[in-house]
A and B are shown apart, each in its own frame.
Chain A
């Protein structure tokens, strides 16, 4: 192979070689950082929801007239809306899938040093599992008489039983049977009994962000306090959700002195949960794509310049018997050497950049595998960019050398 002539020619063209090396190094630096950011952003992105979210409507009403009897309003709402054609099941809830706000710590022990397990607690009544279309994996769902119903400060007792999700059961008890075990929903609170395990559904952004998307607890209570009124989940016939929004809003507004904070199909709640991350990742990807294009063009510009400069040498080689492939190979090899040096430098740059950024925003996303893959990709792009001008170079007529130099 022609390593020696390549190094000699690079030595003669130091400036250009340096230019290419810096260019490749910087490109790899930016590209791999952007790709690492994208992959870390997209972790846990768009996971299965575990529920028929396209057919579930979420309503968040709020009372502003203190004189209204909330308990009676909830009973009336449910009775009225369940009568509508197309409505399958409805239940009051404290949190909504994809949107669970408050993260609770639950314990397997009453002791002070007991290990905390993070979860989201969804308060609902006996219809809750049916609205979400959850499958029973073990034990049983709630009965109506187990559900507490009333204003928070008037409730005299605490719930005695809860349901937990499959993943929650796995987190708490590994492969042991969860049904019949006790759980502390708060330090110092009375323990509750687990009566059933249901199929997983997505909780919300906070736990999703730390890879605990399906941990949840269903608690049989419907309660409210100042400014926190029960909201509803309503499952309707497939394909009807969008057109039923207005009807359902109208039913809720039939009681005056209240206001609907939000009325939407859960599909939109899901979209909102992933949006921020998705769009950030998209921005990075678009930037990366443009960057690759620019580098490819720059490379091929540079090589066509080199080819032009060396027409005579190429002619000489051809005249001395080198095949066209030999000429192409020479340029490919020369470019690979330069690119590889650039890539090595680029890896250093990307690792430093990632480490600096990691320190700044605290999340760990260094993955050497991705950097290597990006480097390989850049090498391929560069070789393709070089191939065309190199092929043109191979077409230099051997006769060119016969003209006076």
Chain B
């Protein structure tokens, strides 16, 4: 019976191929755009380091003046001062690891005159960064606490930088320069893909750092500090802190360092919070943290919580999603009309079959089978279309960035994986069945032999 129905379904699909093509096209085009947008949203909302992101906390303490404005949104809150960062690092807390980061820039160059210098963005941090964020290493390793303490001139290069400056060899122990300062390569990272660069709170995509250096060295050699300095109103000319007056900055109430703690589990978090609160109480005796306890905007947020907010702010994505959903709906409505036209041509045949004793369920099964086959075809074409859609979207993004972004860094955001492909087929079959409900109901209710009188 099944094979007979299948034969009938295939025959019907082959019959009037233009309507079949139209139907498959309507589903495939709608699905193509739908999957393109859903995949982009899915990939860009992937959480970096998802296996431990719940335990990685951004810590923001409210050391501001008494009359500072209330900040109800974590993303608008200031970072941390150097005083607090170094004090917390020295404190014995429930955190497994703590670190802080800021960004600097410089021109990386090597002795070899044939290799043109490379303008680069570097993350300045401490040894804890590498274990906390599980950075993969190709050669060598991260620097140790000792180098942090001494302010040694060591540097960890990204894989790409190592390829540019040293041709991809194991460069550990080799010397290179940031501007005119000489450093020794201590480690080379492997490809490290993060959906969003969360650790400096920029949450940017496709924007990897070129290298990483110890903060103690950056302070010692006064590398530029690319940061916003949120200072008390008593601090004058805080914009200058980017280049000069380092000692004043380190002892000031200016917040500018992004502070991270790895805390495993809720109970540890409570423990950590209470020791931070204890610390704040202690600092109050030095005239710091002047705000009343209930007016403090302290935030302890993990990566998941931060990204939920960041992703909800992506209005272009939101718009594209709305358009894609509605577009798909229009395509499905069209599919209903086409299917109706296709099925109703067959009233005569169906009424004959019914007259000869075919049950309603048999008619229904036959048409359902046909619809599922069409759905599978639509799904297959839709997946192909969404692959090209994603490629197109990526080219547009590259073009729009004037090729400042690299395709290599963007591919993960436009990658159609198996999960998405299976989703596409599921959606295709489910939506074609939905589309077919009314046409099938109509065809099943054709009364036996009613169409046989004429001709």
Chain A interface residues (CB < 8 Å from chain B): 15-16, 19-20, 22-23, 26-27, 29-30, 33-34, 37, 62, 64-67, 225-227, 257, 259, 261, 268, 271-272, 275-276, 278-280, 282-284, 287, 290-291, 294-295, 297-299, 301-302, 304-305, 308-309, 353, 357, 360-361, 403-405
A305 and B30 alpha carbons, distance in the complex (Å): 22
Tell me if A65 and B333 are in contact (CB < 8 A).
no
Contact of B341 among A65, A275, A291, A305 (CB under 8 A): A305
Residues of B within 8 A of A403 (CB): 454-455
In this complex, which of B117, B243, B393 has the most chain A Cβ atoms within 10 angstroms of its Cβ?
Answer: B117
Contacts of B318 in A (CB 8 A): 360
What residues of B have a CB within 8 angstroms of the CB of A353 in the complex?
Answer: 322
The answer to whether the Cβ of B446 comes within 8 Å of any Cβ in the partner chain is no
Which segment, of B150-158, B193-201, B395-403, faces chain A? B395-403
How far is the CB of B238 from the nearest CB of chain A, in Å?
16
Q: Given the complex of chains A and B, what is the CA–CA distance between A304 and B316 in angstroms?
A: 39
- Verify if B327 is at the interface (C-beta below 8 Å from A): yes
By a CB distance below 8 angstroms, the chain A residues around B330 are: 23, 26-27, 30, 291, 294-295
Is B454 a contact partner of A227 (Cβ separation < 8 A)? no
A294 contacts B454, CB within 8 Å? no
- Residue pair A302, B179 in contact (C-beta under 8 Å): no
**A405/B454 contact (C-beta < 8 A), A227-B224, A283-B396, A294-B331 known:** yes
B401 / chain A contacts, CB cutoff of 8 Å: 275
- Contact of A16 with B322 at beta-carbon distance under 8 Å, contacts A291-B327, A404-B454 already known: no
Q: CB within 8 A of B334: which of A280, A301, A308?
A: A301
B75 contacts chain A at the CB level, 8 A cutoff: no
Q: List 8 A-B contacts (CB under 8 A).
A: A30-B330, A34-B323, A259-B117, A294-B331, A295-B330, A353-B322, A360-B315, A361-B315
- On whether the beta carbons of A65 and B180 are closer than 8 Å, the reply is yes
Q: Which residue of B lies closest to A269 (CB)?
A: B402
Mark B312-346 against chain A: 1 for CB-CB distance below 8 A, else 0: 00011011001100110111011111101100110
Report the Cα distance A268→B401, complex, angstroms.
12
| Complex CA distance for A62 and B118, rounded to whole angstroms | 12
Q: A64-B179, A287-B323, A309-B344 are in contact. Are A276 and B400 (CB under 8 A)?
A: yes
B333 and A26 form a contact (CB under 8 A): yes
Q: Known contacts being A275-B402, A302-B341, A308-B341, is A26 close to B329, with CB within 8 Å?
A: yes
Q: Report A-chain residues with C-beta under 8 Å of the C-beta of B244.
A: 226
Cβ distance B205 to chain A, nearest Cβ, rounded Å: 15
Which residues from B are CB-within-8-Å of A357? 315, 319, 322
Say whether chain A's binding surface is mostly helix, strand, loop, or mixed: helix
What is B's interface to A at a CB cutoff of 8 Å?
Answer: 19, 22, 25-26, 29-30, 33, 105-107, 109, 117, 119, 179-180, 224, 243-244, 315-316, 318-319, 322-323, 326-327, 329-331, 333-338, 340-341, 344-345, 393, 396, 399-402, 438, 453-455
Q: Judge whether B243 and A227 touch: CB under 8 Å.
A: yes
Considering the chains assembled together, what is the distance between the CA atoms of A302 and B340 in angstroms? 8
CB distance from B422 to the nearest CB of A (A): 25
B26 touches A308 (CB 8 A): no
Once bound together, how far apart are the Cα atoms of A279 and B394, in whole Å?
11
Known contacts A23-B337, A30-B327, A302-B341; is-contact A226 B224 (Cβ 8 Å): yes
Please state if B333 and A33 are interface contacts (CB–CB under 8 Å): no
Task: Give the distance to chain B from A298, nearest Cβ to Cβ, in Å.
Answer: 3
Chain A's closest residue to B315 (CB) is A361
On whether the beta carbons of A64 and B117 are closer than 8 Å, the reply is yes
Contact present for B338 and A301 (CB under 8 Å): yes
Minimum Cβ distance to chain A for residue B108 (Å): 10
Nearest chain B CB to A225 CB, angstrom units: 8
B48 CB, nearest partner CB in chain A, Å: 25
| Cβ-defined contact, A16 with B334, below 8 A | no
Bound Cα distance A275, B455 (Å): 64
Distance between Cα atoms of A283 and B389 in the complex (Å):
10
Give the residues in chain B near A283, CB-CB below 8 Å.
Answer: 393, 396
Q: Is the CB of A298 within 8 A of B338?
A: yes
B443 CB to nearest A CB, Å = 12
What B residues does A64 contact at CB under 8 A?
Answer: 106-107, 109, 117, 179-180
The residue of chain B having its C-beta at the shortest distance from the C-beta of A302 within the complex is B337
Contact B333 A298 (CB under 8 A): yes
Q: Is the CB of A259 within 8 A of B107?
A: yes
Q: Which residues of A contact B33 (CB under 8 A)?
A: 287, 290
Looking across the interface, which residue of chain B has its beta carbon closest to that of A256? B113
In the bound complex, how far is the Cα of B337 from the Cα of A291, in angstroms? 15
Contact A279:B396 (CB < 8 A) given known A30-B330, A304-B341, A357-B319: yes
Judging by beta carbons under 8 Å apart, are A297 and B180 in contact? no
Which 7 residue pairs are nearest across A and B when measured between Cβ atoms? A298-B334, A305-B341, A302-B337, A64-B179, A361-B315, A64-B107, A272-B402
Q: Are A23 and B334 within 8 A (Cβ)?
A: yes
Report yes or no: A287 in contact with B327, Cβ–Cβ below 8 A: yes
| Contact A33–B323 (Cβ < 8 Å) | yes
- Give B153 Cβ to nearest chain A Cβ, in Å: 16
Q: Are B319 and A279 in contact (CB under 8 A)?
A: no
Which A residues touch B224, using CB under 8 A? 226-227
Q: Given A64-B180, A360-B315, A404-B454, 4 other A-B contacts at CB below 8 A? A: A20-B337, A259-B117, A268-B402, A301-B337
> Would you call B333 and A226 a contact (CB within 8 A)?
no
With A and B bound together, what is the CA distance between A273 and B22 in angstroms? 41
Contact at B333–A22, with CB atoms within 8 Å? yes
